[in-house]
Amino acid sequence: MTHWSIFDAGGHFPAIEEPALLVSDLRTFFRPLREARVEPDLQGAYSPASASASPRFHGTHR
């Protein structure tokens, strides 16, 4: 566990009751992850053209 928050307000539905508090907490959680992010090597990255050539993304659900 990397992040735990206890609030005095917000109740069971914090997104409805205290949206600013929830947004602040989410930003606090994700900030270190965004700062530590390493840019991926884009060779072989997903693209719509490669997806249409792949049978896995043929548009049918299995």
Q: For the chain, how are helix, strand and coil distributed in percent, rounded to 5?
A: 50, 0, 50
Share of the chain above pLDDT 70, in %: 61
pLDDT at position 44: 61
Q: Which DSSP letter does residue 11 get?
A: T
pLDDT at position 56: 56
pLDDT at position 4: 87
What average pLDDT score do residues 15-44 get? 85
Amino acid sitting at position 14: P
Asked if the model's pLDDT at residue 42 lies above 90, the reply is no
CA distance 58 to 26: 36
Tally the C-alpha atoms within 13 A of residue 23's C-alpha that lie toward its C-beta.
5
Q: Is 35 helix (H, G, I), strand (E, B) or coil?
A: helix
